Amino acid sequence: MKNKLFKISSLFTIAILFIATNSNAQVDRTKAPAPNAAPIIKIGTPAKFVLPNGLKVFVVQNNKLPRVSASLTFNYDPILEGDKAGYVSLAGELIKQGTTTKKKEVLDEEVDFLGANLSTSASSASVNALSSNFNKAFGLMADVVLHPAFLESEFDRLKKQTLTGLEAEKEDPNSISSNVSNKLMYGANHPYGEFNTEATVKNITLADVKKYYNTYWKPNVAYLVFVGDITPANAQKLALQYFGKWQKGVVPARNFVAPKPLNKPVIAIVDRPSSVQSNINIVSAINLKPGTADVIPSAVANSILGSHDLSSRLNSNLREKHAFTYGAYSNVNADRVIGNFTAGASVRNEKTDSAIQEFINEFNRLKKEAVDEKLVDTTKKLMSGEFALSLESPSTVARFALNTARYNLPADYYQNYLTNLSKVNAASVQQMANKYISNNNMYIVIVGNAKEIAKGLEKYGDVKYFDIYGNETKPSTTKAVDASITGKSIIEKYIAAVGGDAAIAAIKDAEIKGSAEIPGAPMKPDFARKYIVGSAYSSIVSAMGGAMVLQKQVVANGTYTSIQNGQAETLEDEDKEELDEETTFVNEVYYLKNNYTLNVAGIEAIDGKDVYAVKVKSAKGREFTNYYDVATGFKVKTTQMVDGPAGAKVPVSTMLGDYKAYNNVQMPTKVILDQGVKITVTFTDVKINSGLKVEDFK
């Protein structure tokens, strides 16, 4: 599976909107300009009332559209799930899988019939519908909240589904980075530091889920918010009708010990030999609570440092100046228990050391050098505009009311937001940077190929190694390769492993079909390949049953064709060589016939198994690395750098597995393409020696 397939990712684009401001007015530069007067805003006040059982209700009436939404949010202290981590989120999913009065299928049908949307999570339930259908839709949500069926069959299904998702997460650098970062930052015995694993999910029982629901889903710790085309009187009537008899209860309160700060940075390496880029996540726990005085100035400081605007300092440095990454970001997050500061990017392996240095440079710059007041003013104007724009949505008013209640904020907190924002200046930005960005109290978590990235990192702090579960481990060592093992001998072993020269030679033509799964994609592309061994090859990626051709590559009768999204592409000599290589069905046969350079880079580990890393250089100069299982001889992975947007080189990897024999030749039937987005291709229809002709390659 070659890099051309990765052009599918070009279907997904990101639009960036930015605002620039300038002024030609003459100013006295001997003193800082006075802050602009904050615009006067008026935030609507929702209707409020409390039911006898303690359920707090807010109503934001807005009659512009004939729709209403209702959300029920529970406000309790975080839960330490321990060796059954995952039962809380599992409960949130299970709650909507039918009620004691309605099977899941019936419930789903009724929701669809009303044109409503109903969802639940571990700490919330919500529904929205047209005004004319809302009363009935609200009744369905109430039924889900008050009478969940908690069927064993649905529990087993969701548990299995969760385990399947965790299996995929074990190979996802972003998931690994998040889990390890949280465990190190907060500690394993803190709710924010634990995460689901296969072991903890397998420990969960239906009784655990029921106990959680019966303990925490109580009206006296809940907020019910109505937004839309509904009067306070009707909202109160519905709340009393459906939730008035809901019994209150005692919900456990908990306190957790704050994470102990570090005295020296820790470089936490999670060795992932299959990675062709490093996922860098710099994290530290901070004491920043919602609504406190530092929230707004720290947000301004963070916007300057690492907002998602391309003009932020991290992006200007790591992306624009050094081309280390497509994006480098930071966040300062307030939380009622414990907040955090994070910064990160994904960079090529060889740029890991340099990227970390530039992160630190930008941290120090913000802490030591006063920011230009013009930049502070521009940032505040942007934030003011975003705030004012958000007020056009009635859901914002509801969210403000909910936050005010949940976090015990001053009643005028949001009313005074712009006034407090206008008071932020360069001095307060610098103060926030020094207060919340502590270079010594940082975990620099790096998920990547340790062999390629670890050297030199000790200058940033104590280098430690962790597994994907955040447990400290020893660094992996590269095993020596016996002198008798050569690149050619490894390739010959692979050819023998898949069937041998005679079996491969017996394949005259082949046709392979399959489909792909792309996270978040609205369609499921089909893959089709055809071979006349040694002379013709075609690869077609399509959708909508073949009606939409996304990509097509063909070589036949010495003619090379490549079409991407309907546009013909010019093929270079190395592209043509790559297509010729594909015609052999087993690429390694082509390596040997055309005297490719094959160098053994060493023995590494992939998924706990030793593999030979073989660096391959073609006659036309293409370079890539293949990995062959030491025990079986099978190829399990290939990595290479390909051309990405704006001419930048992008690391890609391909995992190969589920080998099956067809006409006595083994071939991988599952291929995972990884270029930031993982595309899983499964081949299910394989025909060998069906009599294909060159005319079939059009």
**Regarding beta strands 597-606 and 526-532, do their DSSP bridges make them parallel or antiparallel, or are they unpaired?**
unpaired
pLDDT recorded at residue 641: 82
Residue 49: φ, ψ to 5°:
-160, 165
**Regarding beta strands 328-333 and 443-448, do their DSSP bridges make them parallel or antiparallel, or are they unpaired?**
unpaired
pLDDT recorded at residue 645: 61
User: For residue 588, how many C-alpha atoms fall within 13 Å in the half-sphere facing its CB?
Assistant: 28
Q: How far apart are CA 655 and CA 578, in angstroms?
A: 18
Looking up tokens 């209403």 gives 68
pLDDT recorded at residue 545: 81
User: For residue 197, how many C-alpha atoms fall within 13 Å in the half-sphere facing its CB?
Assistant: 16
CATH for 47-243? 3.30.830.10
Strands (E), 44-181: 47-50, 56-61, 67-74, 117-121, 124-130
In this structure, are residues 15 and 683 in contact, taking their beta carbons and an 8 Å threshold?
no
Whats the size of the chain, residue-wise? 698
Which of 631, 639, 595, 605 lies closest to 494 in space, CA to CA?
Answer: 631
DSSP label at residue 370: P
**Domain 47-243 shares a fold with domain 266-473:** yes
User: For residue 472, how many C-alpha atoms fall within 13 Å in the half-sphere facing its CB?
Assistant: 8
pLDDT recorded at residue 676: 64
Classify burial at 471, counting beta carbons within 10 Å of its beta carbon; exposed 0-12, middle 13-18, buried 19 or more: exposed
pLDDT recorded at residue 37: 58
In this structure, are residues 641 and 632 in contact, taking their beta carbons and an 8 Å threshold?
no
User: For residue 670, how many C-alpha atoms fall within 13 Å in the half-sphere facing its CB?
Assistant: 6
Q: How many CB atoms lie within 10 A of CB 636?
A: 20
pLDDT recorded at residue 44: 80
In this structure, are residues 447 and 275 in contact, taking their beta carbons and an 8 Å threshold?
yes
CATH for 479-696? 2.50.20.10
DSSP letters for 301-361: HHHHHH-SSTTSHHIIIIIIIT---S-EEEEEE--SS-EEEEEEEEEEGGGHHHHHHHHHH
Q: How far apart are CA 377 and CA 33, in angstroms?
A: 10
61-79: pLDDT as tens digits: 999 999 999 999 999 999 9
Looking up tokens 């009635």 gives 394
Q: For 200-207, which contacts have Cβ atoms below 8 Å and span 24 or more sequence positions?
A: 200/81, 200/82, 200/83, 200/84, 200/85, 200/86, 201/85, 201/86, 201/90, 201/159, 201/162, 201/163, 201/166, 202/163, 203/83, 203/84, 204/84, 204/86, 204/87, 204/90, 204/159, 206/150, 206/152, 206/155
User: For residue 517, how many C-alpha atoms fall within 13 Å in the half-sphere facing its CB?
Assistant: 8
Domain spans, the chain: 47-243, 266-473, 479-696
Question: What's the CATH fold of domain 266-473?
Answer: Cytochrome Bc1 Complex; Chain A, domain 1 (3.30.830)
Residue 445: φ, ψ to 5°:
-90, 125
Residue 444: φ, ψ to 5°:
-100, 95
> Residue 408 contacts by C-beta under 8 Å, 6 or more apart in sequence?
291
What's 409-478 look like in SS3? CCCCCCCCHHHHHHCCCHHHHHHHHHHHCCCCCCEEEEEECHHHHCCCHHHHCEEEEECCCCCEECCCCC
Q: Which segments of the chain have a pLDDT < 50?
A: 1-33, 35
What's 511-539 look like in SS3? EEEEEEECCCCCCCCEEEEEEECCCEEEE
The SS3 call for residue 161 is helix
Q: How far apart are CA 25 and CA 20, in angstroms?
A: 16
The SS3 call for residue 297 is helix
